[in-house]
Amino acid sequence: MTKILAITNQKGGVGKTTTGVNLAASLAAARQRVLLVDLDPQGNATMGSGVDKRKLPATVYQVLLGTRRIPEVRLRSENGEYDLVPANRELAGAEVEMVELERRETRLKEALAEIARDYDFVLIDCPPALNLLTVNGLTAARAVMIPMQCEYYALEGLSDLVQTIRKVRSHLNPGLEIEGLLRTMYDPRNTLARQVSAQLLAHFGDKVYRTVIPRNVRLAEAPSFGVPAHKFDKDSKGAQAYLALAGEMLNRAATG
């Protein structure tokens, strides 16, 4: 069965898009069929996949409004070796336009139903906000991955996100689960980071991925070249961490 995973955190700058691009590429490197859906108007996942967001004839915006189907807008990320449903600034207006539409929360779910069987994994890069775009991502997904930094404010934001997930589960998507919490930009020398990490493990247990994504300059540099980290510098700690995360997810799927 296709694993549809929403990657979300309403706090910006936590490595959400970095995770979407590098996890998609790492799963593809493990011979999985992967689709990455860019649901963020910033279009960073699109650019990080080696696609120029300024030259797109159609994007996920048209899919949500119902004027295009996913097969008409999806592209191939040659650098990442996965398929992409791209986004650009045009998507920022979608929320206002969707308010008047029927089934506005299930638009992405309905669009993905047509092509989900073509993939082993569908990853949805949600915007850093708890808005209608994010609700579409959560309604379409079977599970949620939450990338987060190990800092005080991240814990506060996490409780808001968990509440939102509960509401979506109650009203729109009863099967939605938290797949896991991913510790990103982690620096083991930082005392607070170690303390927050310990709190996450104590509270969420097995829901916290064993793989930890370190703070790594190669992860920051790779998007400007439109390539995933393992194509930019396979030996970097960041690239190795995302390859390990893909392996952990595949092991979980095999044993779960």
Residue 213's pLDDT is: 96
The answer, yes or no, to whether residue 95 has pLDDT greater than 90, is no
Tokens describing residue 103 = 């089934």
| pLDDT mean over 136-163 | 89
What integer pLDDT is reported at residue 159 of this predicted model? 84
pLDDT in tens, 45-56: 999 999 999 999
Instruction: Inform me whether the pLDDT recorded for 156 exceeds 80.
Output: no
Run of H or E residues at 142: none
Q: How confident is the model over 112-140, as pLDDT tens digits? A: 999 999 999 999 999 998 899 999 999 99
Q: How far is CA 69 from the centre of its chain?
A: 21
Q: What is the DSSP string of 15-29?
A: SHHHHHHHHHHHHHH
State how far the Cα of 227 lies from the Cα of 231, in Å rounded to an integer: 6
Q: Is 75 exposed, middle or buried (0-12, 13-18, 19+ CB in 10 A)?
A: middle
pLDDT more than 70, % of the chain: 100
Under 8 Å CB-to-CB from 124, ≥6 apart: which residues?
4, 5, 6, 7, 8, 37, 39, 108, 137, 140, 141
Range in 60-74, 94-108, 136-150 with the lowest mean pLDDT: 94-108
Q: Could you tell me the pLDDT band of residue 256, with boundaries at 50, 70 and 90?
A: low
pLDDT for the residue numbered 36: 98
The closest alpha carbon to 173, from 137, 127, 208, 123, belongs to 137
Report pLDDT digits (tens) over 240-254.
Answer: 999 999 999 999 888
User: What confidence score (pLDDT) does residue 235 get?
Assistant: 92
Whether residue 233 is predicted with pLDDT greater than 70 in this model: the reply is: yes
Domains of the chain (ranges; CATH) run 3-255 (3.40.50.300)
Read off the pLDDT of residues 10-40 as tens digits, 9 standing for 90 and up.
888 888 999 999 999 999 999 999 999 999 9
